[in-house]
Amino acid sequence: MPEAATENKNSLLKLNFLSHGTLESKDLEASRKFYEDFLGMQVVRTSPISLLIRLGGDNTIAVVENKSKPEMPLLNHNGLDLETQEEVDAAYEVIAEHGESWGVHKLTKPALQHGTYAFFFWDADDNCWEILTNPKGGYVWLFEGGDKEGRGHLDKNFERPGAKATS
């Protein structure tokens, strides 16, 4: 097994914590309602043009107003974790039934992909989200496994916690 990643004590910068990322919003009030009432996130307003959101941990995402933002590419998506494939399927059904009224579009079907069971959707702000199976702590288990050889977690035979071989 590869050696687990550790702090780089020889790095030029001595930083403490990866605290946040950033999303854009076309309408902060509608976005806040979506994050709180649809996704179940904690939300605080940090300025007239920004929010801060989080779910299940200390890492936050700043949401900044940009009325003319482009659609987020799939590879820039944000992940929302559930523990089982059944929970992912249930979330898919809720979004398939109620998502359109919240501005959700481009909803993909759940599938086994890149070592997880997941689906994607875009919100009214054209931000891309993935709902996926992951154990508590998200990708901590993958990070702590260290560097991967070959196809890594993209390999169809890659073993991950709690994953089933078929969907």
The CATH number of whichever domain residue 86 belongs to comes to: 3.10.180
The CATH number of whichever domain residue 38 belongs to comes to: 3.10.180.10
- Structural domain for 47, as ranges: 14-68
| Same domain membership, residue 119 and residue 46 | no
pLDDT in tens, 54-111: 999 999 999 999 999 999 999 999 999 999 999 999 999 999 999 999 999 999 999 9
Q: Which residue has the higher pLDDT, 141 or 13?
A: 13
pLDDT over 50 (residue 159) = yes
pLDDT for 106 = 98
> Structural domain tally of the chain?
2
Considering the domain boundaries, does residue 40 fall inside one? Answer: yes
pLDDT in tens, 97-155: 999 999 999 999 999 987 789 999 999 999 999 999 988 888 888 888 888 888 787 77
pLDDT in tens, 23-37: 999 999 999 999 999
Considering the domain boundaries, does residue 156 fall inside one? Answer: yes
pLDDT in tens, 40-54: 999 999 999 999 999
| Same domain membership, residue 167 and residue 92 | yes
Considering the domain boundaries, does residue 3 fall inside one? Answer: no
pLDDT for 16 = 84
Considering the domain boundaries, does residue 23 fall inside one? Answer: yes
| Same domain membership, residue 133 and residue 54 | no
Query: In the block, which residue shows the tokens 């076309």?
Result: 26
